[in-house]
């Protein structure tokens, strides 16, 4: 009796074709290109809790300035941050006031000229994150 081996077309062949390898490389390159912005943003935000805390502190001081405005009027807002807001000496706060012209509310070149618009800028500083700044505008109406 003679055994004959018949090769079936259903048998799986081992290995990859050149087309499969090229498609894999293209897909891998596309995916890695899409991930680059995410890795860059993760590197830039190494201190999210500190940044959030600085934002909260800046917002709290702006709210104190608004409270001063309500209690004392347009000219009653003072420069200098509210004492007691800083949770640790690592954070420092500065508040600056500047009268600005109606045509350009970001123009801080002539703060001494009294106008009906006052720009209040609060900056919270920390050595690990740098500066976080919050700005608001008061009107004398």
pLDDT digits (tens, 9 = 90+) for 91-115: 899 999 999 998 888 888 888 888 9
- For the chain, domain boundaries: 15-44, 48-139
End-to-end CA distance of the chain: 110
Is the distance from CB of 136 to CB of 62 less than 8 angstroms?
yes
State pLDDT tens for residues 50-93.
Answer: 888 899 999 999 999 999 999 998 888 888 887 677 778 888 99
Rounded Cα–Cα distance for residues 115 and 16 (Å): 75
Top-ranked range on mean pLDDT: pick from 14-18, 81-85, 120-124 = 120-124
- Burial of 21-34, coded b for 16+ CB within 10 Å and e otherwise, reads eeeeeeeeeeeeee
Long-range (24+ apart) CB contacts under 8 A made by 34-40 are none
**pLDDT band at residue 41 under the 50/70/90 scheme:** low
């Amino acid at each position: 009796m003679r055994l004959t081996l018949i090769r079936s077309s259903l048998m799986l062949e081992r290995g990859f074709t050149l087309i499969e390898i090229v498609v894999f490389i293209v897909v891998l390159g596309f995916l890695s290109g899409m991930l680059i912005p995410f890795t860059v943003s993760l590197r830039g935000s190494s201190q999210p809790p500190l940044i959030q805390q600085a934002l909260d502190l800046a917002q709290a001081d702006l709210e104190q300035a608004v409270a001063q405005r309500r209690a004392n009027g347009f000219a009653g807002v003072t420069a200098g941050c509210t004492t007691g807001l800083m949770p640790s000496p690592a954070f420092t706060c500065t508040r600056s006031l500047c009268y600005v012209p109606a045509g350009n509310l970001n123009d801080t070149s002539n703060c001494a000229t009294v106008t009906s618009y006052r720009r209040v800028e609060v900056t919270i500083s920390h050595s690990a994150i740098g500066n976080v700044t919050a700005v608001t505008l008061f009107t004398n109406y």
